[in-house]
């Protein structure tokens, strides 16, 4: 039997990702005017309607209606035929102030350090399968949809494409658990009425698969499924209601490693669901880059209102050059894992979170938590 593993991604036009991008765009706008904004914004999108709700504390003025429409327009929902477009959809807003019970545990005061915005556990992961230190299945799933969006927005190669799409990549691994070949690729993409599926498959094979996945990983037995239902005209929020935070595995590691359960988008960095997940990715990536392990999973956990994590755990799946407990000790010596320490180290009070809300939060060098700037420090701490 083949040793197979599969991950999926969804495009910026997927209903859940529309919601994520709206929530993060509102967060960015609040941070522009007030870097100390506390934000927890959720978005729902459905046929002809976007609903924004949440709890915030901010000195910023934000035109929520305009932000929502800008995001939808930028994604590409500009046709009335989509039954959800930037200029005609309704926008409802129900945002109120953050609970003072939460705020008193999170705010710094005198000698009291900033506490975690909630309890929970967060995970960061890295391996050597790709140059991004990401699982190959997820990296290629993201790459395919980024390229498909480029084709849709910037070229005339496939003029029938709609904004909503999904990908899935299955990789076969050898007995040493190393990637061997791409076994199956699934692409489902929204398209205009009247386009032949044979034409779509031909274009996907030529303009997408052949230019994204390395040739040496594709062979005569690689399976390609394109719009396997036979048609994908109805898509976006008209085809399926979208919600913020419903694609957490797409956002992280495609099912590899682990996930603590907390979503990212719409939350400022005082929420450790987001900031500590970024911090643990930063740690895991630097451990692997330092050649201390070939694969690494880092877990931290917090109590609400408490600054220091209640636990730190490192798992190298037997690939570590030193004992996992020794690595965990080195992590605690090297990295400040208090919320304020993470925010300062990764510069998380700046706007720019909307960019994270489609095509994954990890494996993209534009983000501070992807820097390999602690390789020497973690190596020295182990020694």
3-state SS assignment for residue 272:
helix
In order of 94, 219, 243, the CA distances from 51 in angstroms are: 8, 46, 10
14 carries a ligand binding annotation: yes
Distance, in Å, from the CA atom of 144 to the CA atom of 213, rounded to the nearest integer, reads 8
pLDDT 10s digits, 15-34: 999 999 999 999 999 999 99
Do 3-10+138-235 and 120-128+249-382 come out as alike in CATH topology? Answer: yes
Rg of the Cα trace of the chain? 21
267 annotated to a ligand binding site = yes
* pLDDT at residue 98, rounded to an integer: 64
CATH code of 15-99, in short, is 3.30.300.10
- Is position 371 annotated in a ligand binding site? no
DSSP string, 39-75: EEEEEEEETTEEEEEEEEE-S----HHHHHHHHHHHH
Residues of the chain with pLDDT under 50: 101, 109-111
CA distance 245 to 23: 10
Q: Is the pTM of this model over 0.85?
A: yes
CA quadruple 331, 255, 232, 226: dihedral sign: positive
Residues with Cβ < 8 Å from 383, sequence gap 6 or more? none
Known binder of ligand: residue 166?
Answer: yes
Domain ranges for the chain = 3-10+138-235, 15-99, 120-128+249-382
Flag whether 232 is marked binding. Answer: yes
Is residue 246 marked as binding?
yes
Q: pLDDT at position 88, please?
A: 94
CATH class of the domain defined by 120-128+249-382: alpha beta
Angstrom distance (rounded) from CA 307 to CA 21:
29
The answer to the question of whether 231 is labelled as a binding residue is: yes
The pLDDT assigned to 108 comes to 55
pLDDT of the residue at 97: 77
Q: What is the pLDDT of residue 383?
A: 86
Going by DSSP bridges, is the β-strand pair 223-226/242-243 parallel, antiparallel, or unpaired? unpaired
Residue 269 assigned ligand-binding role: no
42: annotated binding-site residue?
yes
328 is in an annotated binding site: no
240 is in an annotated binding site: yes
Nearest CA among 29, 33, 67 for reference residue 50: 67
- Report pLDDT for 118: 83
* CATH code 3.30.300.10 for 3-10+138-235: yes
Angle, helices 375-382 vs 272-289, to 10°: value is: 70
Phi, psi (deg, nearest 5) at residue 102 = -75, -45
The one-character DSSP state at 227 is S
| 165 carries a ligand binding annotation | yes
Q: Residue 99 has what DSSP assignment?
A: P
């Amino acid at each position: 039997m083949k040793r197979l593993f599969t991950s999926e991604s969804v495009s910026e036009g997927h209903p859940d990702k529309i919601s994520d991008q709206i929530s993060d765009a509102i967060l960015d706008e609040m941070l522009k005017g007030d870097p100390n904004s506390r934000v927890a914004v959720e978005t729902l999108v459905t046929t002809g309607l976007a609903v924004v709700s949440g709890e915030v504390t901010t000195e910023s003025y934000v035109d929520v209606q305009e932000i929502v429409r800008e995001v939808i327009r930028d994604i590409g929902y500009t046709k009335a035929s989509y039954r959800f477009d930037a200029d005609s959809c309704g926008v409802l807003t129900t945002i109120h102030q953050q609970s003072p019970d939460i705020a008193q545990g999170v705010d710094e005061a005198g000698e009291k350090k900033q506490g975690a915005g909630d309890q929970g556990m967060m995970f960061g992961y890295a391996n050597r399968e790709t140059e991004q230190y990401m699982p190959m299945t997820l990296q290629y799933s993201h790459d395919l949809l980024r390229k498909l969006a480029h084709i849709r927005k910037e070229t005339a190669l496939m003029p029938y494409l709609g904004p909503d799409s999904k990908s899935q990549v299955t990789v076969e691994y050898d007995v040493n658990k190393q990637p061997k070949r791409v076994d199956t690729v699934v692409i489902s993409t929204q398209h205009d009425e009247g386009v032949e599926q044979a034409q779509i498959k031909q274009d996907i094979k030529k303009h997408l698969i052949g230019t994204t996945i390395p040739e040496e990983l594709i062979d005569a037995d690689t399976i390609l499924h394109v719009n396997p239902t036979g048609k994908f005209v109805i898509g976006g929020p008209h085809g399926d209601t979208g919600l913020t935070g419903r694609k957490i595995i797409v956002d992280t590691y495609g099912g590899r490693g682990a996930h603590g359960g907390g979503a990212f988008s719409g939350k400022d960095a005082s929420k450790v669901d987001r900031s500590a997940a970024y911090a643990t990715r930063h740690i895991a990536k630097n451990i692997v880059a330092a050649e201390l392990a070939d694969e690494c999973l880092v877990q931290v956990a917090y109590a609400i209102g408490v600054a220091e994590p209640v636990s730190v755990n490192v798992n190298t799946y037997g690939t570590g050059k030193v004992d996992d407990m020794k690595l965990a000790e080195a992590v605690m010596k090297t990295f400040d894992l208090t919320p304020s320490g993470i925010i300062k180290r990764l510069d998380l009070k700046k706007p720019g979170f909307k960019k994270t809300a489609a095509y994954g939060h990890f494996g993209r060098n534009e983000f501070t938590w992807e820097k390999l700037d602690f390789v020497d420090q973690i190596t020295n701490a182990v020694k």
